[in-house]
Amino acid sequence: MKPGNHTFSVSEFLLLGLSEHQTQQPLLFGIFLSVYLITVVGNIAISLAIVSDPHLHTPMYFFLAHFSLTDLGLSSTTVPRMLVNIQAHRHTITYAGCLSQIYFFLWFIGLDVFLLAVMAYDRLVAICHPLHYTLVMSPRCCILLVVMPLILAQAYSLTHTLLLAQISFCTDNIIPHFFCELLPLLKLSCSDTYANRCVLTYWGGALTILIPLLIVISYACIVAAIVHIPSVSGKWKAFSTCSSHLSAICLFYVSAIGVYFIPSSANSASKDRIAAVMYAVVTPMLNPFIYSLRNRDMKSALKRFLSRRALQSP
């Protein structure tokens, strides 16, 4: 630790964004504004279609509606702030604003992960125990399976935020990212971050190893059950109900693993930014397409919802 580092603390951080070249800022603004608008419209349309269509009042779509709202929240935590910074030509964020952004970002990330696990459990019960599905996935159980992820995600986010508030930041306040991300921020600290990194390791292990392992086990049981279905059409129908969920899992975890498990290199900051764009911006935009284009019931519900809206408009 350099002498004199504790003479003052930073009151704001400088976000370098995705590019430091001013000529690229209008292009980035246009791209991310378009992506965000598609994310907002897509996820809200999915949620409203599920709520308004009685045919979709089932556990699978109940969880999907919450997943869509979580994706919307995840994207809204980072993208609007970045758009404002680009438009205002000001790339700073206050200390309190940075902590708030980290809190909500981690909360929505944790909620995304836990809901993916809940959705895998729902498919496990539906395919492996179809006769007991309505009994097991009762309304009370469905509510509990949403409340528990909310509590766990809150614990995950709050733990990191409270520990982050205990450490000091001195002269270095430049974050090589487009939002306040936990790892780059820990690297700027001039105090001991051992507790933060231990908690990050334990929670990271739970979210990126334990939860995916449980999902893999669930799908191993699902595949075993599908194999024993006698008809080809039955096998295809069972698999089609899982394909969208599998696509969402792969898209989320491949990009997240790119941030936390690929060894650092000279261009690790650029790699981290690209991976963060994938799981925090691109994935929430693509999920509505994944769950609607490959799902006949969802496409029909969206068409009915849009038709009703068109008839109601003057």
Determine the pLDDT at residue 8. Answer: 46
pLDDT at 78 over 60: yes
- Among 88-97, 224-233, 236-245, the range scoring the smallest mean pLDDT is 236-245
Q: pLDDT (tens digit, 9 = 90+) per residue, 174-203?
A: 998 899 988 888 888 888 899 999 998 888
- Is the CB of residue 287 less than 8 Å from the CB of residue 43? yes
SS3 category, 12:
strand
Determine the pLDDT at residue 23. Answer: 84
* CATH code for the domain defined by 19-304: 1.20.1070.10
SS3 category, 174:
strand
Determine the pLDDT at residue 275. Answer: 80
Give domain limits for the chain.
19-304
DSSP-derived letter for residue 9 is: -
- Share the mean pLDDT of the chain: 87
More confident residue, 116 or 306: 116
Predicted TM-score (pTM) of this structure: 0.89
Single-letter code of the amino acid located at 223: V
Q: How many Cβ atoms sit within 10 Å of the Cβ of residue 301?
A: 24
Most confident segment among 60-69, 84-93, 166-175, 229-238: 60-69
CA–CA gap between residue 8 and residue 6 (Å, rounded): 5
Q: What is the DSSP string of 211-236?
A: HHHHHHHHHHHHHHHHHT-SSHHHHH
